[in-house]
Amino acid sequence: MPFLDWVNKNQAKEVTREVPYHLLKQESIHGDVGGGYADNLLIQGDNLLALKALIPFYAGRVKCIFIDPPYNTQSAFEHYDDKLEHSQWLSMIYPRLVLLRELLTTDGSIWVSLDDNESHYIKVMMDEIFGRQCFVANLIWEKADSPRNSARQFSSDHDHIFVYSKTPGWQPCRLPRTEEANSIYTNPDSDERGPWIPGDPYANKPYSKGLFSITGPSGRVFSPPPGRYWRVSEEKLRELDADGRVWWGPKGDARPSIKRYLAEVSDLVPRTLWRKEDVGSNRTSKNEMRALFPEEASFGTPKPEALVKRALQVASEPGDMVLDSFLGSGTTAAVAHKMGRRYIGIEMGEHARTHCLPRLQKVIDGEQGGISASVEWKGGGGFRYCTLGEPAFDDHGRISTDVKFATLAAYVWHFETGAPGHQVFDKPLLGIHNGTAYYLLYNGILGDRRPAGGNVLTHAVLQAINEIFPHSGPKVVYGEMSRLGAARLSAEDITFKQIPYDVKMR
């Protein structure tokens, strides 16, 4: 498989491992974050740092990622530096895609919106990161509703949306049927089963019982044309005819067609051409932003809510986690909220506070723009607004004093098992994975509030662990120090790891 190469690619590949873990600092709560809204996050800060901070808690939990990164158009934007040199852009996006892949569920998908400036390069890059076998589709979004006569060569009418899955064999959700799709079904013979369309009775694939002749109501004899075959056997065709499921035309002398009833067809398979009439255009999204912020200048290149709605319909179900690490004006989070998805939105610029936060507050209050009417949105729910706090580890690997037990437990659990730390960590036994029990002695979790109380593996602490949190198999214990000899540790099948030296960043 060919690979994309550029200046400083090796450094870009190392960034993922070198970027430090940061703590998330909750700044405020908006609305009701109880129940299904507890995971809704708006994070202001560098998305590379924010993604790394999310890994221990959300790895393998995000069902759909929709991102609209800077297009690198060499133009000037008010809210973004979109004039990165080509290799800088590639070095920027590579480590972020690596971290995003780690956050996806095994049946999750990522959707990346770009124009022609970088789209063909990112296709090769994503083949490398996700695997060519995980490429799903290149969607074409008709973003323009009129030509730009000022264009020097071609007036650009479309953007690309690349869809990749975490693992091969990903299946999209089907889309609800539309009035337009249903309009081709009619009922010229007043069939009691309702509207139908005529289906081709012939097939190209050789079929052992597919060569025969049949006589219609008018006496006319029908046979498949050369190289084609009946789709069903003669017995089955006569059975369908007796049941009124074969159409011979209004006079009974037309080629037989097998009826396909509207009542029996499934929802629509997604298509790769997304028209402006169905999902909106750039003009649509700008009008949506003007309605939300009438006194503000138009925000660069927002996406229409209907476009994101279509993506989330195809890629997720209510209750699933959605993430956008280039949140921009907040569209993905707003749409996810209205559609009953949980979400994480990350935005570096100040407009995380000036645009995204008030937009989501308007959603909670029940604003009726965008897709609100189509999904019957009336308001409610909530989210947490966070910023990036201090690094969890300093340059020497020491743990920050701001790190609490639950946070360190999530890091340890993820490092040891690769699983996200989404469970409640409030006791020394973090969990059992593949037969091994993992324990953390930190911040006096056993109830002893002395500086080192309960953080040192002593005979008494071991006895307490065995009595309160027994496990008959191997154990891994993290603590500040162990006062047990090698023989005792071996006898108890314990691997001791010292904090902070053995707490590593995955």
Q: Residue 41: how many CB atoms within 10 A of its CB? A: 22
Q: Which of 171, 175, 139, 174 is nearest to 158 (CA)?
A: 139
pLDDT digits (tens, 9 = 90+) for 284-327: 998 988 898 887 655 667 899 999 999 999 999 999 999 999 99
The predicted structure's pLDDT at residue 83: 52
The most confident of 230-234, 330-334, 394-398, by mean pLDDT? 330-334
Residue type, 315: A
pLDDT of 209 higher than 80: no
pLDDT of 77 higher than 60: no
Q: Structure tokens of 404?
A: 């609490």
pLDDT of 506 higher than 60: no
Report the SS3 class of residue 237. helix
The predicted structure's pLDDT at residue 78: 44
pLDDT of 368 higher than 90: yes
8-state DSSP, 262: G
Per-chain mean pLDDT for the chain: 88
Task: Name the CA radius of gyration of the chain, rounded.
Answer: 29
pLDDT of 79 higher than 70: no
Q: Which of 419, 450, 443, 452 is nearest to 433 (CA)?
A: 419
Q: In which residue are the tokens 């890091």 written? A: 411
The predicted structure's pLDDT at residue 502: 77
Q: Structure tokens of 348?
A: 């570096």
User: What is the rounded CA–CA span in Å between residue 388 and residue 390?
Assistant: 7
**Is the peptide bond preceding residue 451 cis, with omega within 30 degrees of 0?**
no
Q: In which residue are the tokens 């308007």 written? A: 362
pLDDT of 39 higher than 50: yes
The predicted structure's pLDDT at residue 421: 64
pLDDT digits (tens, 9 = 90+) for 164-186: 999 999 999 999 887 888 889 99
Q: Where are the alpha helices (DSSP H) in 152-201?
A: 179-182
Q: Which residues contact 159 (CB under 8 A, 6 or more apart)?
A: 113, 114, 115, 140, 141, 143
Query: pLDDT: is 129 or 450 the higher one?
Result: 129
The predicted structure's pLDDT at residue 419: 75
The predicted structure's pLDDT at residue 76: 36
Domains, the chain, ordered by start: 9-172+271-391 (3.40.50.150), 179-264 (no CATH), 405-498 (no CATH)
Q: Which residues contact 10 (CB under 8 A, 6 or more apart)?
A: none
Q: Please give the model's pTM, rounded to 2 decimal places.
A: 0.79
User: What is the rounded CA–CA span in Å between residue 208 and residue 465?
Assistant: 71
Q: Which residues contact 102 (CB under 8 A, 6 or more apart)?
A: 55, 59, 60
Q: Which of 314, 306, 268, 273 is nearest to 142 (CA)?
A: 273
The predicted structure's pLDDT at residue 422: 64
- 135 beta partners: 164
User: What is the rounded CA–CA span in Å between residue 307 and residue 28?
Assistant: 30
